[in-house]
């Protein structure tokens, strides 16, 4: 079930309550709030992490407590947390283009890194409302795909064999304070801090 | 509030009139107006003023019925400038660009356009732009400086009839707003078939017109509607709207007009 696919981050932050129910705490970011400037302002990072992400975690814990009565609710919140964990894998001084097997996979699937970035940005900008845009690896078809999901829908709703490598949050709260309504600018700049190392690690694990 | 009558049954204002008399956004008059408000001139304005524009505006950007700083301190002027001048304006321009390519849809009133492009749940690409233009026009008119408080007379009676009390309605409305996930709107509508008021939550650009209901007031819950002033404090934004911004005058006018199409009372047939 969803619990089995928890990432390292969330497992590390789970503590057992007295009833044996796991409760989760907000994972720390591996960098300062201001580390992703000027692509993403410190203010946005702090709000996004301490308010939005924290709220999802609080609600998830609450939902877990009611797990007996409301199984589906618990699942939805899980993935929200997971998605946030993946997105917050930005990196200080990141943006270095991927090398190795992920790099060549990108070239063979999309032509070039620029083409990939353009496509992702186009999909992200075209998304109506709130959602995420993903670069995912399809385990079955053994290729890379770009997907979008609405609100906090998990990537698996687009395909059970999809493994997320990169996720970009295009909810307005993710960029509004800095970029206002100009979502394309946010999408252009976020590539400067994308953590390709993490994406490569995940990719290499799926396709050794 | 502008209560133009029009041919289709349930539009609040006639956009076909606006399309012919209102100036397209790239006309000099609108550009100067916006610059008088201190709005930064975008490149598009300058270049289109000097050369002959090949783009015709099908729909125009309607102004809020109050000055941009009139809703301070509840909604800052800065936020209205970005919300109206950025988002709302963006939807109008995007819609005009789409209509340029597809003039089968040209000539509808905005209400008709919304219903047609909604396509019974399978929306065409023009739908989100058209609906968001309509939604935002409706939203600006649903607020007024010194708003909030309580409705009076017929509207209050109808609310008390359908929600037991005004306080109950307020609480239900706020709860609907806070439980809406993602981007969307919350509406107070008059349902045609059931002939009663109801609270509706919709996602993204959807509005009650697509179900042929009559919106009485509405609240924009996309994050862009409150983020600059309230950050993630949605509860504060919703309460501020209910207590200080909502225009019960506009709502009452809409209800009055709606009664031309929905009979809310029992007919008073005199006995002999």
Residue of B117, B132, B227 to mutate, interface with A, max A Cβ within 10 Å: B227
At residue A95, the pLDDT reads: 63
At residue B17, the pLDDT reads: 36
Q: Where is pLDDT greater, at B168 or A42?
A: B168
Domain count, chain B: 1
CATH architecture, domain defined by A4-89:
Orthogonal Bundle (1.10)
At residue A157, the pLDDT reads: 82
Token pair for residue A198?
A: 């993490």
Q: Which domain holds residue B172?
A: 1-44+55-249
Residue B152 and residue B166 in contact, taking contact as beta carbons nearer than 8 Å? no
Q: Please report which confidence band the pLDDT of residue B15 belongs to, taking 50, 70 and 90 as the band edges.
A: very low
Reply yes or no on whether the pLDDT at B40 is more than 90.
no
Query: pLDDT tens-digit profile of A54-80?
Result: 888 887 777 677 665 555 554 555 555
Q: Please report which confidence band the pLDDT of residue A3 belongs to, taking 50, 70 and 90 as the band edges.
A: very low
At residue A21, the pLDDT reads: 57
Residue B162 and residue B196 in contact, taking contact as beta carbons nearer than 8 Å? yes
Reply yes or no on whether the pLDDT at A123 is more than 70.
yes
With an 8 Å Cβ cutoff, is A43 touching chain B? no
Reply yes or no on whether the pLDDT at B48 is more than 50.
no
Token pair for residue A168?
A: 């970009």
Q: Please report which confidence band the pLDDT of residue B8 belongs to, taking 50, 70 and 90 as the band edges.
A: very low
Token pair for residue B202?
A: 């919709």
DSSP 3-state of B35: helix
Q: Write down the mean pLDDT value for chain A.
A: 76
At residue B269, the pLDDT reads: 76
Q: Where are the beta strands (DSSP E) in chain A?
A: 14-16, 22-24, 131-138, 143-150, 162-169
Reply yes or no on whether the pLDDT at B251 is more than 80.
yes
Token pair for residue A26?
A: 């907000």
Q: What is the ipTM of this complex?
A: 0.74
Task: Please state the rounded mean pLDDT for residues A85-91.
Answer: 52
* B212 in any annotated domain: yes
The CATH class for the domain spanning A100-206 reads: alpha beta
Task: Please state the rounded mean pLDDT for residues A185-200.
Answer: 86
Reply yes or no on whether the pLDDT at B162 is more than 80.
yes
Query: pLDDT tens-digit profile of A93-106?
Result: 456 777 788 888 88
Q: Please report which confidence band the pLDDT of residue B5 belongs to, taking 50, 70 and 90 as the band edges.
A: very low
Reply yes or no on whether the pLDDT at A116 is more than 80.
yes
Q: Please report which confidence band the pLDDT of residue B35 belongs to, taking 50, 70 and 90 as the band edges.
A: very low
Cβ B227–A176 below 8 Å, yes or no?
A: yes
* B129 in any annotated domain: yes
Residue of A58, A125, A176 to mutate, interface with B, max B Cβ within 10 Å: A176
Nearest CA in chain B to A128: B204
Reply yes or no on whether the pLDDT at B24 is more than 50.
no
How far is the C-alpha of A78 from the C-alpha of B241, rounded, in Å? 32
Query: pLDDT tens-digit profile of A25-49?
Result: 888 887 888 888 888 888 888 888 8
Supply the CATH number for residue B198's domain. Answer: 3.55.40.20
At residue B161, the pLDDT reads: 92
CA angle B226, B246, B8 (to 5 degrees): 100
* B267 in any annotated domain: no
Q: Please report which confidence band the pLDDT of residue B25 belongs to, taking 50, 70 and 90 as the band edges.
A: very low
Q: Which residues of B touch A173 (CB under 8 A)?
A: 223, 227, 232
* B272 in any annotated domain: no
* B257 in any annotated domain: no
Percent of chain B whose pLDDT exceeds 90: 61
Please give the C-alpha separations between residue B65 and each of A181, B6, B152, B204, B213, in angstroms, as whole numbers. 23, 21, 22, 24, 24
How far is the C-alpha of B178 from the C-alpha of B172, rounded, in Å? 10
Helices (H), chain B: 15-21, 28-36, 43-50, 77-80, 89-101, 110-118, 126-141, 153-163, 166-178, 227-230, 234-240, 248-258
A169 is in an annotated binding site: yes
Residue of B86, B91, B131, B183 to mutate, interface with A, max A Cβ within 10 Å: B183
At residue A42, the pLDDT reads: 85
A173 is in an annotated binding site: yes
How far is the C-alpha of A60 from the C-alpha of A63, rounded, in Å? 5
* B69 in any annotated domain: yes
Query: pLDDT tens-digit profile of B65-80?
Result: 999 999 989 999 999 9
At residue B222, the pLDDT reads: 94
Q: Please report which confidence band the pLDDT of residue A9 belongs to, taking 50, 70 and 90 as the band edges.
A: very low
* B228 in any annotated domain: yes
How far is the C-alpha of B168 from the C-alpha of B116, rounded, in Å? 35
Task: Please state the rounded mean pLDDT for residues A173-195.
Answer: 88
Reply yes or no on whether the pLDDT at B180 is more than 50.
yes
For chain A, domain boundaries: 4-89, 100-206
> Which one of A52, A129, A182 has the shortest CB-CB distance to B182?
A129
Query: pLDDT tens-digit profile of B99-152?
Result: 888 777 877 889 999 999 998 888 998 899 999 999 999 999 999 999 999 998
| Mean pLDDT lowest among B24-28, B48-52, B87-91, B205-209 | B24-28
At residue A140, the pLDDT reads: 86
Task: Please state the rounded mean pLDDT for residues B235-258.
Answer: 94
How far is the C-alpha of A148 from the C-alpha of A83, rounded, in Å? 13
Cβ A130–B87 below 8 Å, yes or no?
A: no
How far is the C-alpha of B27 from the C-alpha of B21, rounded, in Å? 12
Provide the Cα torsion B117, B123, B125, B131; round to 10°. 60
Q: Give the gap in angstroms from C-alpha B94 to the nearest C-alpha of chain A.
A: 12
Percent of chain A whose pLDDT exceeds 90: 9
């Amino acid at each position: 079930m969803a619990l089995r696919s928890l990432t390292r981050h969330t497992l590390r932050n789970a503590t057992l309550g007295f009833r044996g129910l796991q409760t989760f705490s907000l994972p720390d970011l591996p960098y300062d709030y201001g580390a992703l400037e000027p692509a993403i302002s410190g203010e946005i990072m702090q709000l996004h992490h301490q308010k939005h992400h924290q709220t999802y975690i609080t609600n998830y814990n609450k939902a877990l407590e009611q797990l007996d009565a409301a199984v589906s609710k618990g699942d939805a919140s899980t993935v929200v947390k997971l998605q946030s964990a993946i997105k917050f894998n930005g990196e200080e001084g990141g943006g270095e283009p991927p090398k190795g097997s992920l790099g060549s996979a990108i070239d063979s699937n999309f032509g070039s890194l620029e083409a990939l970035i353009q496509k992702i940005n186009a999909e992200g900008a075209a998304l109506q409302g709130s959602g995420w845009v993903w670069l995912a690896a399809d385990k079955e078809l053994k290729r890379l795909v770009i997907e979008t999901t609405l609100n906090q829908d998990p990537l698996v709703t687009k395909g059970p064999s999809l493994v997320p490598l990169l996720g970009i949050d295009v909810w307005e709260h993710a960029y509004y304070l800095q970029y206002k309504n100009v979502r394309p600018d946010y999408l252009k700049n976020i590539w400067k801090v994308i953590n390709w190392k993490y994406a490569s690690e995940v990719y290499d694990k799926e396709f050794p | 509030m502008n209560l133009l009558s029009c041919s289709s049954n349930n539009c609040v204002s006639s956009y076909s009139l606006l399309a012919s008399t209102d100036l397209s956004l790239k006309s000099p008059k609108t550009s100067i107006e916006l610059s008088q408000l201190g709005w930064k001139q975008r490149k598009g304005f300058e270049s289109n003023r000097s050369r002959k524009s090949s783009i015709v505006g099908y729909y125009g950007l309607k102004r809020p019925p109050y000055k941009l700083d009139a809703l301070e301190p509840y909604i800052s002027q800065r936020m209205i400038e970005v919300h109206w001048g950025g988002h709302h304006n963006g939807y109008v321009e995007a819609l005009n660009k789409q209509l340029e390519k597809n003039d089968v849809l040209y000539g509808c009133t905005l209400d008709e356009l919304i219903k047609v492009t909604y396509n019974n749940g399978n929306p065409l690409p023009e739908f989100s732009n058209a609906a968001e233009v309509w939604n935002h026009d409706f939203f600006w008119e649903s607020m007024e400086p010194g708003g909030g408080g309580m409705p009076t007379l017929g509207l209050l009676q109808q609310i008390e009839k359908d929600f037991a009390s005004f306080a109950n309605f307020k609480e239900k409305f706020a709860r609907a707003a806070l439980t809406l996930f993602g981007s969307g709107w919350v509406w107070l509508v008059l349902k045609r078939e059931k002939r009663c008021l109801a609270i509706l939550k919709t996602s993204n650009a959807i509005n009650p017109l697509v179900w042929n209901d009559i919106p009485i007031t509405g609240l924009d819950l996309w994050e862009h509607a409150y983020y600059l002033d309230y950050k993630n404090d949605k509860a504060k934004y919703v309460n501020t709207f209910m207590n200080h911004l909502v225009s019960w005058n506009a709502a009452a006018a809409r209800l009055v007009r709606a009664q031309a199409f929905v009979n809310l009372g029992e007919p008073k047939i005199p006995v002999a």
